[in-house]
A and B are shown apart, each in its own frame.
Chain A
Amino acid sequence: MEKTVIDLQGIRREFIVGDEVVHALRGVTFSIKEGEFVTIMGSSGSGKSTLLNILGCLDTPTEGEYYLDGISVRKMTKNKRAVLRNRKIGFVFQNYNLLAKTTAIENVELPLMYNSEIGAAERRTRAIDALKAVGLGDRLEHKSNQMSGGQMQRVAIARALVNNPSVILADEATGNLDTRTSFEILVLFQKLHAEGRTIIFVTHNPEISNYSSRNIRLMDGHVIEDKVNCSILSAEKTLAELPVNEDD
């Protein structure tokens, strides 16, 4: 029924560090359908960063096949993967990675700058739409150093949305934020999920798994748990129950 966005088949990734071979991933197989909100969890060293890099087409597996939207990524060149990232993936990083001294709108426009099929006018319209979608319609011209952490992360999410990607990859997207702001961001992710977007959220924080539709747990390069979350908590509700900070 639903389209398979991500299909991993026996992914192995080995690194050579000095004389030793480090097995970061030892045969990972799963697939993700369109519209899923998946959390990938694991302690440090479990291989989740490596998996994220492969999912994000930043890296290629040593063995196994990875299909993104039906396209085999394993044998792609660097440049082809760059174009693929540009069209099919939106990244959200822990530390936002916004361009310094640059307005929200220019930051959001960035992925489209590398897509010559999109003209300046369309680029701007789409950036404004994306910023409105994350609730920053009134902060279009704010520069990155004039915004709070939560706002910066919203800009980063808008940037990930602007190219209308097949999948949004969030890497510890709430890691640098306080609890309240974290939940605000989670509310946003749940909203995007409700709109039908595919989201992969990599984290070491087990609490977040309560708000996603599916959890994959990694340990030492193996998938040790993969289950659908039948009772998704509402981040909005949790946020409302949080004590309000008096100084806000």
Chain B
Amino acid sequence: MNWANLFKISLKALANNKMRAFLTMLGIIIGVAAVITMIALGQGAKQNIQSEISGMGSNMIMIHPGGERRGGVRLDPSEMQTLKEADYEALRKESLFLAGISPNVSSSGQLISGNNNYPSSVSGVSTDYIAIRQLNVEKGEMFTEADIKKSAKVCVIGTTIADNLFPDGSEPLGKTIRLNQVPLKVIGVLESKGYNSMGMDQDDIVLVPYTTVMKRFRAINYLEGIFASAISEDITDLATADIEDILRRQHKLKDTDENDFMIRTQQELSEILDTTTNLLTTLLACIAGISLLVGGIGIMNIMYVSVTERTREIGLRMSVGARGIDILAQFLIEAILISITGGIIGILIGCGACATVKYLAHWPVAIQLWSVVLSFLVCTFTGVFFGWYPAKKAAALDPIDALRYE
């Protein structure tokens, strides 16, 4: 069989019916473009959420008190007082896998500055907190170890606090604000981080030395939690195990005792969100896949009509010596050419649509190479699969009947 000639014959037949070939292609074009765009949108959303999670502090490990039982009654973790400053000091000194560690104690109430006030809460933390949460001090500076040592009455505020307490736009640095009768001098303003993916305002934040909160606001000797960050995301599990060992030793727990603290990592959260976005991507891809299937059926439909319409031509080709397999190959090549050309145009349009969405709507999109390759393979397969039946029908025609067909 002469493939080059058959290819020429098919190409010629398509060129003779450009409009029809294009309309047939349209189904494939839309299908492929939809698959690529939908997957790009789904994956874009996923990457966006992932980057937000890591923006919250990617390697973050949170330690909370908990799990303790008194007389068979489980207590609310916030009521428990099992995490002490000594635990924090021990972790800070002994753990090898932590890049930063900070206690967390908070106190809430009405912040007051002059005649402006705003309901919020202060977080008592250490100097590492900034690095753990990936915050940046825009103006002024973070408090120091010395401030922590002497329970200094200083604070670093987020932009939401600054905007509400100083609505006239005056400089917050150096001003004094009050919470529960305690005056705090503003020594730094944080760079704005905006809202996170769960709708929480990340700029509604007041950072003060944890000793200040413990001694001056709450008069307590325990911590509500400890934030830490692992050196890298891969060793988060190692770091967690290390923290568990140190804390169990600190708390003098026997092997049979349950932990009286809880360790959480961002990985859990990111896994949950991954599952959700993967589901979303699958759903979008399914819808797009259906449109590709419909496009394929369009090819079959047109090829089928085309075989009927060109019965005489088929008869003539057979009379001048085309074998059944030559006719089969011709129609199959036509179907494949339609689907591959449609596929290529669809890929271009899909990529174009992604770029447009990114540019106009600022949605996160991430074109996946595998989705491009996959949709191309699928539409080639579609061409063969849906072209086969009409081609088979054409090849099986009897030349005498075909020549006489009106």
By a CB distance below 8 angstroms, the chain A residues around B319 are 56, 58, 85, 91, 97
A87-B403 in contact (CB<8A): no
- CB contacts under 8 Å to B, within A63-96, are 78-79, 82-83, 85-87, 91, 93
By a CB distance below 8 angstroms, the chain B residues around A100 are 16, 313
Size category of the A interface is 20 to 34
Encoded as 1 (CB less than 8 Å from any A CB) or 0, chain B from 290 to 322 comes to 000000000000000000000011011111111
C-alpha spacing A31/B12, complex, angstroms? 41
- Once A99-B316, A113-B2, A114-B326 are accepted as A-B contacts, the answer to whether A86 and B321 lie under 8 Å apart by CB is yes
- CB contacts under 8 Å to A, within B1-35, are 1-2, 5, 8-9, 12, 16
By a CB distance below 8 angstroms, the chain A residues around B312 are 97
By a CB distance below 8 angstroms, the chain A residues around B209 are none
B399-A58 in contact (CB<8A): yes
* Minimum C-beta distance from A204 to chain B (A): 16
- Once A97-B312, A102-B16 are accepted as A-B contacts, the answer to whether A59 and B400 lie under 8 Å apart by CB is yes
B16-A114 in contact (CB<8A): no
B249 at the A interface (CB under 8 A): no
A214 at the B interface (CB under 8 A): no
Encoded as 1 (CB less than 8 Å from any A CB) or 0, chain B from 50 to 92 comes to 0000000000000000000000000000000000000000000
A12 at the B interface (CB under 8 A): no
A111-B400 in contact (CB<8A): no
- Once A59-B400, A82-B318, A97-B316 are accepted as A-B contacts, the answer to whether A113 and B8 lie under 8 Å apart by CB is yes
- Nearest residue (CB) in B for A78 is B324
B403-A116 in contact (CB<8A): no
C-alpha spacing A78/B319, complex, angstroms? 11
* Contact partner, B324, options A59, A79, A102, A111, Cβ 8 Å: A79
* Minimum C-beta distance from B236 to chain A (A): 66
* Minimum C-beta distance from B326 to chain A (A): 6
A111-B320 in contact (CB<8A): yes
C-alpha spacing A59/B5, complex, angstroms? 27
By a CB distance below 8 angstroms, the chain A residues around B323 are 78-79, 82-83, 114
User: Chain B's interface: helix, strand, loop or mixed, by majority?
Assistant: helix
- CB contacts under 8 Å to A, within B342-376, are none
C-alpha spacing A111/B326, complex, angstroms? 12
* Minimum C-beta distance from A162 to chain B (A): 9
- Nearest residue (CB) in A for B319 is A91
C-alpha spacing A99/B8, complex, angstroms? 14
A125 at the B interface (CB under 8 A): no
Residue from B1, B5, B315, B320 with most neighbouring chain A CB atoms (10 Å): B320
- Nearest residue (CB) in A for B8 is A113
* Minimum C-beta distance from B313 to chain A (A): 6
- Nearest residue (CB) in B for A114 is B321
B325 at the A interface (CB under 8 A): yes
A233 at the B interface (CB under 8 A): no
A82-B321 in contact (CB<8A): yes
Residue from A78, A101, A114 with most neighbouring chain B CB atoms (10 Å): A114
C-alpha spacing A83/B313, complex, angstroms? 18
C-alpha spacing A163/B320, complex, angstroms? 9
* Minimum C-beta distance from A92 to chain B (A): 11
* Minimum C-beta distance from B42 to chain A (A): 45
- Once A93-B403, A114-B5 are accepted as A-B contacts, the answer to whether A86 and B320 lie under 8 Å apart by CB is yes
- CB contacts under 8 Å to B, within A115-147, are 115-116
- Once A102-B16, A113-B8, A114-B326 are accepted as A-B contacts, the answer to whether A53 and B320 lie under 8 Å apart by CB is no
- CB contacts under 8 Å to B, within A177-195, are none
C-alpha spacing A101/B1, complex, angstroms? 25
- Nearest residue (CB) in A for B404 is A49
* Minimum C-beta distance from A206 to chain B (A): 24
Residue from A99, A100, A106, A163 with most neighbouring chain B CB atoms (10 Å): A99
* Contact partner, A53, options B9, B12, B325, B400, Cβ 8 Å: B400
- CB contacts under 8 Å to A, within B276-295, are none
* Minimum C-beta distance from B60 to chain A (A): 70
C-alpha spacing A86/B8, complex, angstroms? 18
A91-B320 in contact (CB<8A): yes
By a CB distance below 8 angstroms, the chain A residues around B2 are 113-116
By a CB distance below 8 angstroms, the chain A residues around B399 are 58
C-alpha spacing A157/B238, complex, angstroms? 87
By a CB distance below 8 angstroms, the chain B residues around A106 are 12
* Minimum C-beta distance from A167 to chain B (A): 14
C-alpha spacing A189/B16, complex, angstroms? 32
B313-A99 in contact (CB<8A): yes
* Minimum C-beta distance from A225 to chain B (A): 26
C-alpha spacing A62/B304, complex, angstroms? 33
Sample of 7 A–B contacts (CB below 8 Å): A58-B318, A58-B403, A59-B400, A91-B319, A100-B313, A113-B2, A113-B9
Known: A56-B319, A102-B16, A110-B320. 11 other contacts (CB 8 A): A58-B399, A79-B323, A82-B321, A83-B323, A110-B317, A113-B2, A114-B2, A114-B5, A114-B320, A115-B2, A115-B321
* A contact set with B: CB distance below 8 Å: 53, 56, 58-59, 78-79, 82-83, 85-87, 91, 93, 97, 99-102, 106, 110-111, 113-116, 159, 163
